Chains A and B, each alone.
Chain A
């Protein structure tokens, strides 16, 4: 049977032949599969979702006095996002989307990126926008990478967690929080000699495990097959990814970050946050992935930023007002500096006639809408970059609260080449929650 992994392996042979050529990230594209969109556009594009938990108060991003849509050119950005000041011609602040149907109080969890009702412990009821985009964008080896930032205790004891992204109903995607594990996954194939043999032996063992696991699933009752199927698919994912990455190890070496003490002996959780971001950025710049989801606070109501000098942590951070709050200014500025690092890194890699950043969109928002306890009537978002000219930039857009976050996701999907009028929202549901249709015209160029 020629499954997806075998298909990719066979294509990777072709990629190997191309390795003699100057390597540009496009060589990592895994060409088309049956799941690719209806577009013929093969320009590499990438989308990054940065989800800060505990809510995104509009007063911490909308410039003072700005009530109506307009240019950001003549205004000063609020202190919490001041690191973005030099980049504001790329910035688009959107106020007035809603997520009332997602139940975002104490986090909408999967619903934040899914545009549907979520809740603590509630399985995803459909694929989330990041996963859908990873399928729709020109394909990369690891279509979708999720990283999660939390207190060091949580990241250590639960290095993988799924709260934000999903590949389908009841199919959560785990985010990585231990940078050591993530490094191994992404760059284990940068090896030769004995290590290479080890790598091959390991590949063989995992292939055999996959076969044994699959064989033992065949006699399960139908109800159990789906759950056990996730276990078997896990091996398929592991094996498939390893095969794909191993075909381009030489290329990866140029982008892999140096491992330092922050990986093994983090002083604060922010050390791990920083190196997780490095790894995420390297996955983008090396072209391994086209979609990166960053869960700062990991989609829940906890999180800690002691490295920023913030002693309070966890749930309490959501109980305080954000505007003019020194704690939240520090967190938001830290986020903003991370956004700047992403932009700078992508700018440094040439792509087409410009840089990677030209073909990138960063979506910064919260899995909690505007605050920890919220009805979701307002869901502020910041966009950075224009995804190959598709989005307006350098401006503030005030919407009237009548269109859901799904409309923004629809807009991004459209620019990725998927023809869709509403993302994860049926016409029936839209009657209640969406007074428009199709993409958000206000944000598209």
Chain B
């Protein structure tokens, strides 16, 4: 053990003894009954003020005159909270406060900031998923000091708004019939998969594109003509976990749009393409309507021809509109169907009556045709069509005030953990039969669903998207010139990035299919799911000399061709030269030596036809990456470009990712006084420009990120492997410091070495489990969740790294099953 290690251990033992001697117990989540004067001020005085006082306080941050939390000093307290909670302060070489005192100090600040800022937008930093790591990893997975007494955990009762993708996938079920799962072609998009983004990265719902058999004009004209609606619900987050229950509501502008879209959908449910096209456009013989398709119709809805084959689901809404007149029974059937399609549960009698009445009133006012559409659209705005409730209104609280989810709430929670569409028949029947009330019930259904590949699990894939953040590359707006310099320039770049996202999705699914050492394999796989264009992205950036040589060679060949052509013409006057001599050589990208990716043909899930013949293609190959140049998802262009900016790599963001998602470290917010900007020096490397982060004030935090991000400088910001940067050998060195696992700490030569080092570590696996917990519980972990996390990690480890085992453990845990209805829940309080 190092000297520092002995000191830390001694301090820990001493703290434990001291605390035990005081006999004071600490229960996470319980209000800290401590005063500023009696506890907080002395804490600051003993641990902080020595350095943070006087005429030249450390970090130019004086605590001498700091009073109790108020709106003026809230930023300062926020900063203190981060530094002390993350154990960045007091510095490692100083005496440390005892464990419980630190926890109480941290809790006190959160409680006070929450109180003081209650009418100023609130203090929610501690609830943000980006701050999940603020809970001490060693306390979650290691032994707890005796005086810390945990309480059985639960999550708050809540409503959980649908994500834009869940919502669109739910709507898609109403109007499109997706193909059934085909075990022989497992990569193809199938019923139950989410509606993916299209060729341009937009999330859109397309109407009946599977019936379009001809169109006029090119791809853009197709895209303009075809009926689609964009996602209505908003989502404000790009990086990290995106959908805790308390993030979102539905605003009035969104509600109006949902109502409008609903009428379009109901009309399509009733009439199919006839609701968006003229009757003559529906024919299996497009030639028979040539006279109608004359002239330039490009971009108009009338430029499309639909087949006569009915492929949309025919539902009670169709039945209602297919008959003359209107009966209450038909209306009830349509309401019943739509309500369950939108909320995933049958309506209560009261709900059924209310919506039937709305439809009847609308029909009375404006007739059947419009009245049905308008009246039924109200169901799309039911609370439970937009928010999934976990309210435990009917159960009995246990001695800790927790109520277990049951019946529809429990069934839909389990369903939502994996799926975006309504429960399959077996789960539905279990709910109806009263067999969704116990932990065993949940285990039974979870294991059944996990074992069945035909039950699609888009939410599992979504977790990996949010954990890795590899799906943003197409949205990173690149400077054209800077992108061209990477060798990946051109208009196809953004499209390639959306393709790369779908490819990485598929790679993850393949690794999940094997379900062994999932995290390690994701981090270290030598496989890649690739398109043709990936030969470029997985290629190598040529050096300046190589580029010059390639250009010279090209010129030489061109000169030779021209000379040959000239000689031929002289020898064959008045004759047309052969094409082999007249045709100029195809333009070659001299910037890159392409990879030669080969492998078996597979498929990736891409959107419905959105762009005519220019739509995304599902064809892929499963190939092996160039040896020594790539290792795992973090070295794939999808991840690298997602963590870049307009002009260059984003080493800080990459380093932050490694720090937070693999090492479990936390990074405080940028202080209010910092104008964070790297100098604009095109002749200097990113590493050189990042010298500004080495100033003492910045380095406290940046030392945790920058040395973890700079090893990825072995790739340029197009995600392409390189050996030189600005014509000098690229510096790819970095360092792992303060990882929490001394075995991991130390210098690394490049990203591959760093990844190999971390991928097998227990710590990275535990941090992965923490992120999975957050995703599926919809909240940050607290110390009370330690047993749940330890169980989940154990399940993962003992199963040889099985995601299924990890999920089963999490979804049968108290944190998933129990809710607390009190305003001040355990989770919120912590």
Total A residues in contact with B, Cβ cutoff 8 Å: 69
Stretch at the interface among A10-18, A65-73, A121-129, A322-330: A121-129
With A125-B117, A223-B156 known to touch, is A428 a contact of B383 (CB < 8 Å)?
no
B680 at the interface (CB under 8 A from A): yes
Q: How many Å from the CB of A149 to the closest CB on chain B?
A: 16
Nearest opposing residue in chain B for A313, CB measure: B477
Give the contacts of B144-160 with A (CB-CB under 8 A).
Answer: 156-159
| Contact between chains at A169 and B383 (CB < 8 Å) | no
Q: How many Å from the CB of B707 to the closest CB on chain A?
A: 25
B579 at the interface (CB under 8 A from A): no
| Contact between chains at B362 and A204 (CB < 8 Å) | yes
> In the complex the two chains form, what is the Cα distance from A137 to B718 in whole Å?
53
Q: How many Å from the CB of A98 to the closest CB on chain B?
A: 14
Which A residues are in CB contact (< 8 Å) with B383? Answer: 212-213, 216-217, 228, 231
Among candidates A159, A213, A220, residue contacting B257 with C-beta atoms closer than 8 Å:
A159
Nearest opposing residue in chain A for B358, CB measure: A208
Which A residues are in CB contact (< 8 Å) with B647? Answer: 319
Which B residues are in CB contact (< 8 Å) with A176? Answer: 253
Q: How many Å from the CB of A334 to the closest CB on chain B?
A: 21
A46-62 near B? 1/0 per residue, CB < 8 Å: 00000000000000000
| Contact between chains at B361 and A204 (CB < 8 Å) | yes
| Contact between chains at B362 and A201 (CB < 8 Å) | yes
Stretch at the interface among B70-78, B187-195, B285-293, B783-791: B70-78
Stretch at the interface among A233-241, A276-284, A359-367: A233-241
Which B residues are in CB contact (< 8 Å) with A212? Answer: 354, 378, 382-383
A156 at the interface (CB under 8 A from B): yes
B391 at the interface (CB under 8 A from A): yes
| Contact between chains at B387 and A429 (CB < 8 Å) | no
> In the complex the two chains form, what is the Cα distance from A160 to B234 in whole Å?
8
B119 at the interface (CB under 8 A from A): yes
| Contact between chains at B234 and A208 (CB < 8 Å) | no
| Contact between chains at B120 and A219 (CB < 8 Å) | no
| Contact between chains at A160 and B646 (CB < 8 Å) | no
Give the contacts of A170-197 with B (CB-CB under 8 A).
Answer: 170, 172, 174, 176, 181, 185, 194, 197
With A158-B234, A221-B158, A228-B387 known to touch, is A198 a contact of B370 (CB < 8 Å)?
yes
| Contact between chains at A220 and B391 (CB < 8 Å) | yes
| Contact between chains at B252 and A238 (CB < 8 Å) | yes
Among candidates A197, A234, A313, residue contacting B255 with C-beta atoms closer than 8 Å:
A234
Which A residues are in CB contact (< 8 Å) with B273? Answer: none
B350-392 near A? 1/0 per residue, CB < 8 Å: 0000100110011001100011001101100111101100010
| Contact between chains at B366 and A201 (CB < 8 Å) | yes
A335 at the interface (CB under 8 A from B): no
B202 at the interface (CB under 8 A from A): yes
A82 at the interface (CB under 8 A from B): no
A38 at the interface (CB under 8 A from B): no
| Contact between chains at B250 and A205 (CB < 8 Å) | no
> In the complex the two chains form, what is the Cα distance from A70 to B721 in whole Å?
59
Question: Max chain B CB contacts within 10 Å: which of A170, A205, A206?
Answer: A205
> In the complex the two chains form, what is the Cα distance from A431 to B370 in whole Å?
62
| Contact between chains at B823 and A222 (CB < 8 Å) | yes
| Contact between chains at A314 and B477 (CB < 8 Å) | yes
Q: How many Å from the CB of B124 to the closest CB on chain A?
A: 8
| Contact between chains at B70 and A160 (CB < 8 Å) | no
| Contact between chains at A201 and B374 (CB < 8 Å) | yes
| Contact between chains at B71 and A428 (CB < 8 Å) | yes
| Contact between chains at A125 and B252 (CB < 8 Å) | no
Among candidates B124, B253, B259, B646, residue contacting A174 with C-beta atoms closer than 8 Å:
B253
Q: How many Å from the CB of A122 to the closest CB on chain B?
A: 8
Which B residues are in CB contact (< 8 Å) with A432? Answer: 72
Which B residues are in CB contact (< 8 Å) with A174? Answer: 251-253
Which A residues are in CB contact (< 8 Å) with B256? Answer: 181, 185, 238
Question: Max chain B CB contacts within 10 Å: which of A124, A125, A227, A316?
Answer: A227
With A213-B381, A228-B249 known to touch, is A126 a contact of B257 (CB < 8 Å)?
no
Which A residues are in CB contact (< 8 Å) with B381? Answer: 209, 213
With A125-B117, A319-B680 known to touch, is A204 a contact of B252 (CB < 8 Å)?
no
Which B residues are in CB contact (< 8 Å) with A253? Answer: none
Q: How many Å from the CB of A345 to the closest CB on chain B?
A: 25
Which A residues are in CB contact (< 8 Å) with B278? Answer: none
> In the complex the two chains form, what is the Cα distance from A198 to B371 in whole Å?
9
Which A residues are in CB contact (< 8 Å) with B825? Answer: 223
A103 at the interface (CB under 8 A from B): yes
Which A residues are in CB contact (< 8 Å) with B393? Answer: 219
Q: How many Å from the CB of A223 to the closest CB on chain B?
A: 6
Nearest opposing residue in chain A for B256, CB measure: A238
| Contact between chains at A125 and B120 (CB < 8 Å) | yes
Q: How many Å from the CB of A186 to the closest CB on chain B?
A: 12
A42 at the interface (CB under 8 A from B): no
Q: How many Å from the CB of A376 to the closest CB on chain B?
A: 9
A315 at the interface (CB under 8 A from B): yes
Which A residues are in CB contact (< 8 Å) with B75? Answer: 117
B240-255 near A? 1/0 per residue, CB < 8 Å: 0000001011111111
| Contact between chains at A121 and B365 (CB < 8 Å) | no
Stretch at the interface among B88-96, B606-614, B671-679, B804-812: B671-679
With A202-B374, A238-B256, A314-B646 known to touch, is A170 a contact of B70 (CB < 8 Å)?
no
Nearest opposing residue in chain B for A208, CB measure: B358
A267 at the interface (CB under 8 A from B): no
> In the complex the two chains form, what is the Cα distance from A117 to B358 in whole Å?
46
| Contact between chains at B675 and A105 (CB < 8 Å) | yes
B122 at the interface (CB under 8 A from A): yes
> In the complex the two chains form, what is the Cα distance from A234 to B259 in whole Å?
13
Chain B residues proximal to chain A, CB less than 8 Å: 70-72, 75, 117, 119-122, 124, 156-159, 200, 202-203, 230-231, 234, 236-237, 246, 248-257, 259, 354, 357-358, 361-362, 365-366, 370-371, 374-375, 377-378, 381-384, 386-387, 391, 393, 477, 479, 645-647, 672, 675-677, 680, 821-823, 825, 828
A-B contact pairs, 13 of them (CB 8 A): A103-B672, A160-B234, A174-B253, A204-B361, A205-B362, A206-B259, A223-B156, A223-B828, A224-B246, A302-B477, A313-B477, A426-B72, A429-B71
8 residue pairs, one from A and one from B, having the closest CB atoms: A234-B252, A125-B121, A160-B253, A169-B121, A201-B365, A428-B72, A216-B383, A222-B823
Chain A residues proximal to chain B, CB less than 8 Å: 103, 105, 116-117, 121-126, 153, 156-162, 169-170, 172, 174, 176, 181, 185, 194, 197-198, 200-202, 204-206, 208-209, 212-213, 216-217, 219-224, 227-228, 230-231, 233-235, 237-238, 302, 313-316, 319, 373-375, 426, 428-429, 431-432
Given contacts A116-B120, A227-B248, 14 further A-B contacts (CB under 8 A): A105-B676, A117-B75, A121-B236, A156-B202, A162-B251, A201-B365, A204-B358, A217-B383, A227-B159, A227-B249, A230-B249, A230-B250, A238-B255, A315-B645
